[in-house]
């Protein structure tokens, strides 16, 4: 061991990203493997967005505008909000990290339903927080349990809707009831990474902020807009919270290319949403095929399907991997498969049905 690493870091398992398709091809001596493990958009960004990013490359001898003023104004205009309520992050994961940096001291409690996004326990460990996990009921958040888990020491609550990995959503009305039971000095983060795939019937959590300024909404251009590699996230919250979050963001971490990409993505939103509509059709086609074959699964409102395969999960994932399909297994719990292109979806459905 070189140096005296922090115990929080040495105790943390190294991050294991989803296997790359190329690794699986080498491992099983196959070709034509596909990765459906990271909830990425299967298609490249809208051509005009890609062109804007490419054109901005010659400017990267300069640091980006650290305040991302143009982007905040554009997002504010897009959402009908004052730009003082908008901030940006190096992906929405960057904003989640900033929330920990700004609000969590060692020993503070962080509450989240679990299973949920794997980064919440990772950051809790890294920041020496006490993580308080509440169980899901029928793969859906139990918001009473979340409210009950709050103590004097609670600093943050994380609610991902739609949730990763279950794909289930919670309604703004139900969150409002929960908020009425939670102290207003607890920051409640609504993580909407998959917002564009969600059913609008669940409502817009930004509306909660009028009565509950402790609500932070995080969103991203990674999924629906196909900009995962660019690291482009944004947050909507009270300017007082933004002031603290902006202090702790790594300077210039929202790069000039990322900022140009966000601006172009907003301008060309309609084209991206056409792709989203195709993905939603594909999602329905996959759900129908699985249901027709007797597979039970929670309703998905995201760009992936969660199949509760229980103890068979690892075996099924391995069998699918040998068919060249990389999924995201949660051993003992279930399998999460990202919706891909129509051809990819045909392949994974066929492979899953023969592997189960
Ligand atoms: C629930 C949830 N939140 C946030 C993110 C982070 O997305 P990004 O950092 O690319 O914006 C993800 C990515 O998988 C996610 O599943």
Which ligand 1 atom is at minimum distance from the Cα of 39?
A: 14
116 C-beta closer than 6 A to ligand 1: no
Which ligand 1 atom is at minimum distance from the Cα of 231?
A: 10
- Which are the contacts of 190, defined by CB distance < 8 A and separation ≥ 6? 159, 161, 175, 205, 208, 215, 216, 217, 218
338 C-beta closer than 6 A to ligand 1: no
CATH class assigned to 17-39+270-355: alpha beta
d(CA 71, CA 266): 9
d(CA 300, CA 303): 8
Report how far apart, in Å, the C-alpha atoms of 240 and of each of 225, 233, 268 are. Answer: 29, 19, 31
Note the residue count of the chain. 356
264 has pLDDT over 90: yes
| CATH annotation of 47-267 | 3.40.640.10
Mean pLDDT of 43-63: 98
pLDDT digit string, tens, across residues 99-129: 999 999 999 999 999 999 999 999 999 999 9
40 C-beta closer than 6 A to ligand 1: no
What pLDDT does 314 receive? 96
Instruction: Report which protein residue has its CA nearest ligand 1's atom 12.
Output: 193
19 has pLDDT over 90: no
What pLDDT does 260 receive? 98
Which ligand 1 atom is at minimum distance from the Cα of 96?
A: 4
Ligand 1 center to 23 CA (angstroms):
23
What pLDDT does 1 receive? 81
Instruction: Report which protein residue has its CA nearest ligand 1's atom 6.
Output: 93
Ligand 1 center to 354 CA (angstroms):
31
Mean pLDDT of 240-268: 98
Q: What is the pTM of this model?
A: 0.97
226 C-beta closer than 6 A to ligand 1: no
The token pair that represents 180 in the structure block? 């009425």
What pLDDT does 18 receive? 74
307-335 burial, b at 16+ Cβ within 10 Å, e below that, comes to bebeeebeebbebbbbbbbbbbbbeebbb
Ligand 1 center to 313 CA (angstroms):
23
124 C-beta closer than 6 A to ligand 1: no
What pLDDT does 67 receive? 96
93 C-beta closer than 6 A to ligand 1: yes
117 C-beta closer than 6 A to ligand 1: yes
218 three-state secondary structure: strand
| More confident: 18 or 249 | 249
Mean pLDDT of 252-268: 98
222 C-beta closer than 6 A to ligand 1: yes
What pLDDT does 141 receive? 98
What pLDDT does 11 receive? 87
pLDDT digit string, tens, across residues 132-186: 999 999 999 999 999 999 999 999 999 999 999 999 999 999 999 999 999 999 9
What pLDDT does 13 receive? 84
Cα 148 to the center of its chain, rounded Å: 25
pLDDT digit string, tens, across residues 330-341: 999 999 999 999
Q: Closest by alpha carbon to 191, among 164, 222, 230?
A: 164
118 C-beta closer than 6 A to ligand 1: no
CA angle 174, 180, 182 (to 5 degrees): 105
Question: What is the distance between the terminal CA atoms of the chain, rounded to a whole angstrom?
Answer: 43
Ligand 1 center to 59 CA (angstroms):
28
d(CA 235, CA 263): 15
Query: Domain extents for the chain?
Result: 17-39+270-355, 47-267
Q: Is 295 exposed, middle or buried (0-12, 13-18, 19+ CB in 10 A)?
A: middle
Which ligand 1 atom is at minimum distance from the Cα of 116?
A: 1
Q: Closest by alpha carbon to 186, among 218, 216, 219, 208?
A: 216
């Amino acid at each position: 061991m070189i140096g005296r690493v922090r115990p929080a870091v040495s105790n943390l398992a190294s991050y294991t990203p989803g296997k790359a398709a190329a690794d699986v091809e080498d491992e099983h001596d196959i070709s034509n493997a596909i990765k459906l493990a990271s909830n990425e958009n299967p298609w490249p960004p809208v051509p005009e967005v890609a062109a804007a990013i490419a054109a901005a490359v010659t400017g990267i001898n300069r640091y980006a505008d650290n305040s991302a003023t143009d982007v905040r104004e554009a997002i504010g205009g897009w959402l009908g909000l004052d730009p003082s309520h908008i901030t940006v992050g190096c992906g929405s994961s960057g904003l989640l990290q900033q929330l920990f940096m700004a609000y969590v001291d060692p020993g503070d409690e962080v509450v989240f339903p679990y299973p949920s996004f794997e980064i919440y326990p990772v950051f809790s460990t890294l920041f020496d927080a006490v993580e308080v996990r509440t169980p899901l009921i029928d793969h859906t958040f139990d918001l009473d349990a979340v409210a009950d888990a709050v103590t004097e020491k609670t600093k943050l609550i994380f609610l991902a809707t739609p949730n990763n990995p279950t794909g289930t959503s919670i309604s703004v009305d139900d969150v409002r009831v929960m908020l009425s039971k939670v102290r207003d000095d607890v920051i409640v983060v609504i993580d909407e990474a998959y917002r564009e795939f969600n059913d609008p019937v669940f409502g817009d959590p930004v509306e909660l902020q009028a009565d509950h300024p402790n609500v932070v909404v995080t969103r991203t251009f990674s999924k629906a807009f196909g900009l995962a590699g660019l690291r482009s996230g944004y947050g909507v919250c009270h300017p007082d919270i933004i002031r603290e979050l902006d202090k702790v963001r790594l300077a210039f971490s929202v790069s000039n290319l990322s900022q140009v990409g966000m601006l172009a993505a907003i301008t060309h939103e309609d084209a991206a949403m056409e792709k989203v509509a195709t993905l939603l059709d594909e999602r329905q086609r996959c759900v129908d095929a699985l249901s027709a074959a007797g597979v039970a699964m929670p309703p998905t409102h995201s760009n992936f399907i969660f199949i509760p395969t229980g103890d068979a999960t690892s075996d099924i994932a391995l069998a699918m991997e040998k068919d060249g399909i990389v999924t995201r297994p949660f051993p003992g719990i279930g399998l999460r498969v990202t919706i891909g292109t129509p051809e990819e979806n045909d392949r994974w459905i066929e492979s899953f049905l023969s592997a189960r």
